Structure 1
Amino acid sequence: MRPSVFRHAARLGAVLALLGAATPLSAQQQLPPPLENGAASGVPVAVQVLRWHMLDDGVSTLTFRNMDQLFTTRTVGAAGTPWHLPRADHALDFSYEFKGQRHAADDFAARSYTNALLVMKDGRILSENYYNGSDASTRFMGWSMTKSITSTLVGTALADGLIQSLDDPITRYLPELRGGGYDGTTIRQILQMRSGVDYPERYDFANPGAAARNHIAALVKNNARFADAARTIPRAHPPGQEFAYKTLDTAVLGWLIERVSGGSVAAYTARKLWEPLGAEADGYYIMDGAPGVGREFSGAGFNATLRDWARFGQMMLDQGVADGRRIVSSEWVAGASAPAVTEGEDGGYGLQWWTMPGSDAYAAIGLQGQFVYIDPPTRTVIVKLSHFPPGGTEADAESRAFFRAAAAWTPE
């Protein structure tokens, strides 16, 4: 199922009023200057404007849980029989410390721009709460938590023999990348964000670089496929030399999954992850183009319910097993969740998973406050789906303080 943005354009007017995006008293809404340049787009102007503002403070609480109103999507089908998550509902009767002050755990959601929050221990849901009009059926944008989904798909493709080795050059599977910055780069180096290509993950739209231009062309205007920038991107460093986080690396991994599976990323996600995971609701990817043209935005475009994000985390906590079904090997989980290089004070990075400093905890983390936090020693999984303001570093730091306290918490 691929609902088109064009069917939804008429429903966006009320939201646009919240943005202050329309030109006052104009007979026709105008594109912001950064969108006026380049090839014309078939995406309605109102939808382009809304995509342009979808990260804005005050609007993201709505857009982050209604991405199927903004984009063409591709469904990832759920399981016939969901993985039952037992409950042991319990008040969050602990506190956490942040910036020298103690706060009650019950205050955390209101303090940290929360749309939904779930805490599990030993595979049981202890607390599950929804805010701002969301509920158990709401599907939330994972943003870069999608990278951890894509990593898991690479792990299943490796186990299936579709990929022979992580140390194979990416051009063995994607010869289209020969002659560019990815030539000579291995799959492992791409998983570790050590490809060396010149793609600074910076979104200064007033002075757009490679990442900002690609965002505009692929995700706002749908004039290009996001991964195609990899064909001609130059190299900044030798492969494997430096860690540099970039969504383009994960888009290449999505292209790899598409190539080796012989189908769409969504179809492979359903077959190898979402169905055997026992997901209770369909997930979906946003697409970077219209049906028949676009690709799944495999670097940051997956959407799922709160409990299904929790199932994903529990599968990783259970060493790659979901309700008795093997998804990926325990060796893959160990490698994915271990830092590829020495951790800094903010942690490190494994295979598309972030590692937490000074602990065995690790997390899938997405833009503006999306987290699947996993602490193996305490058997804790926490999912927080948020609407941080852009650059919300204080909310991020407070969230991590809460996660540490929740992991240490032992309910009576």
Structure 2
Amino acid sequence: MAFSRQLLIGAMTAALVVPMPVLAQQQLPAQLLQGAGSEVPVATQVMRWHMNDADVNSFAFRNMDQLFTTRTVPHSGAVWTLPKVERAADFTYNFGGKTITAQEALERTYTNALLIMKDGRIVTEIYRNGSNERTRFMGWSMTKSVTSTLVGAALEDGLIASLDDQITRYLPELKGSGYDGVTIRQILQMRSGVAYEERYDFANPGIAASNHINALVKNVVRFADAARTIKRAHKPGEVFAYKTIDTAVLGWLIERVSGGSVAAYTARKLWEPLGTEADGFYIMDGQPGTGREFSGAGYNATLRDWARFGQMMLNGGIANGKRVVSEEWVKLAQAPAGAETGVLGGYGYQWWTMPNSAAYSAIGLQGQYVYIDPTSRTVVVKLSYFPPQEEAAEQETLAFLAAASAWTPKD
């Protein structure tokens, strides 16, 4: 009996020291295992890989500084006070054969934050899903409109002699590529003609998706460097084709002619004179010393500071009584280079122009808008979390923005 008891105790002791199976660590998707290895931690790569997904993007789009190396664009000096006269958003709009209230639109169109300004005064300011006035929201391709403004500033500073200069005058690294013979103006208008299809099919990645993976998820290349070897698809100036690589080249141009970082030039020529109330930041495509600001789609700012950017444009380049960019540039930026067709209308200098309207807008991936209507003196900033490829939400949001512009708040 004693012997059996000893055996039992021994068996129990042995069971306690047998190692338990180790839980499997996160696995990288096959697309991230291809090509050069990355020093970015696996968990971070996985989160970057999923940051646009519908079940996490509401959070990810307002916490990009937790996912990426960033470069701060500091605010400084007197803040441009935006008068506030709060009014209930009591307007409606029609979509899909239904009349929908502005309040219903918030959830229907995946809204994180909304601000409506009328004639320079905030009439509606709404934060949702845990965001607040200190939250800095990812602009995605609204960043293109920021980069355009920096090009305008560099032109006014004499750092760029002419928009009709070929880009290789300033970036000789692009000689022999598809950008050879392309002017700065053609790049601003997304008419470079280079062979870069803005398609993000990550299951079968093409040049754009591969550049996203390698530059932004893995940080093993610089996003703009794809321009060095890119081919030509069309004669420069002839065909409009939206592509982030064009804006990345413009960011590289700003870096070269300013002699510093894109962030530093943004602070000096835009963020400080704009009278912003908070620091902005760019996400980077690598660590300091090698990485660049993602000037094509990586700028983050508060709701009110995005609104200040829009109000400056509405004021013809003036913010808080100070000239930020020339009135001529503002007019050029919002002038469509071609016919206004399709849902989004036309395209100026990195700004979308609304069809059958004087309105124009900075528009970012999955529902980011700085919408400006000179006719009604309205600025609307809507920061969203559309599911990927959600076309209905985009179409409904455009109806909402037009109605918000036409809305006259009650005194």
Range class of TM-score, shorter chain: over 0.9
- Corresponding residue for residue 9 of structure 2: none
Matched, 1:144 2:141: yes
CA drift at 1:26? 4.1
Cα deviation digits, residues 189-213 of structure 1 (max 9, x gap): 0000000000000011121111011
Cα deviation digits, residues 155-178 of structure 1 (max 9, x gap): 000000000000000000000000
Alignment partners' CA distance in 2, 1:345 and 1:188: 23
- Corresponding residue for residue 6 of structure 1: none
Cα deviation digits, residues 372-392 of structure 1 (max 9, x gap): 000000000000000000011
Alignment partners' CA distance in 2, 1:26 and 1:196: 50
Cα deviation digits, residues 203-237 of structure 1 (max 9, x gap): 11121111011111100000000000000000001
- Corresponding residue for residue 370 of structure 2: 372
Alignment partners' CA distance in 2, 1:392 and 1:28: 32
- Corresponding residue for residue 320 of structure 2: 323
CA drift at 1:137? 0.1
- Corresponding residue for residue 84 of structure 2: 87
Q: Report the TM-score, using the length of structure 2 for normalisation.
A: 0.94
- Corresponding residue for residue 122 of structure 2: 125
CA drift at 1:25? 7.6
Matched, 1:111 2:108: yes
SS in 2 for 1:128: strand
- Corresponding residue for residue 349 of structure 1: 347
Amino acid in the other structure paired with 1:187: I
Cα deviation digits, residues 40-87 of structure 1 (max 9, x gap): 100000000000000000100000000000000000011221100001
Which residue of 276, 280, 284 maps to 1:279? 276
Which residue of 191, 194, 215 maps to 2:212? 215
Cα deviation digits, residues 305-343 of structure 1 (max 9, x gap): 000000000000000000111111111111100110011
Which residue of 33, 41, 46 maps to 2:38? 41
Matched, 1:403 2:401: yes
Amino acid in the other structure paired with 1:224: V
Alignment partners' CA distance in 2, 1:132 and 1:96: 24
Alignment partners' CA distance in 2, 1:220 and 1:345: 32
Q: Which structure 1 residue ranges, 5 or more long, are not aligned?
A: 1-23
Matched, 1:99 2:91: no
CA drift at 1:281? 0.1
Alignment partners' CA distance in 1, 2:40 and 2:220: 9
CA drift at 1:99? 1.1
- Corresponding residue for residue 164 of structure 1: 161
- Corresponding residue for residue 3 of structure 1: none
Which residue of 169, 173, 191 maps to 2:170? 173
Alignment partners' CA distance in 2, 1:49 and 1:27: 14
Matched, 1:239 2:251: no
Do 1:79 and 1:277's aligned partners in 2 also have CA atoms closer than 8 Å? Answer: no
Q: Report the TM-score, using the length of structure 1 for normalisation.
A: 0.93
Q: Which structure 2 residue ranges, 5 or more long, are not aligned?
A: 1-20
Alignment partners' CA distance in 1, 2:398 and 2:186: 27
Amino acid in the other structure paired with 2:52: L
Which residue of 249, 253, 258 maps to 1:256? 253
Amino acid in the other structure paired with 1:330: E
Amino acid in the other structure paired with 2:132: D
Identity of aligned residues (%): 72
SS in 2 for 1:51: helix
Alignment partners' CA distance in 1, 2:281 and 2:409: 35
- Corresponding residue for residue 31 of structure 1: 28
**4+ aligned runs moved over 6 Å, structure 1:** none
The farther-off stretch of 24-33 and 235-244 is 24-33
- Corresponding residue for residue 382 of structure 1: 380
SS in 2 for 1:276: coil
- Corresponding residue for residue 182 of structure 1: 179
- Corresponding residue for residue 10 of structure 2: none
Alignment partners' CA distance in 2, 1:49 and 1:58: 14
Cα deviation digits, residues 346-376 of structure 1 (max 9, x gap): 2000000000010000000000000000000
SS in 1 for 2:339: coil
- Residues 245, 163 of structure 1: CA spacing in aligned structure 2 closer, same or farther, 3 A cutoff? same
Amino acid in the other structure paired with 2:367: G
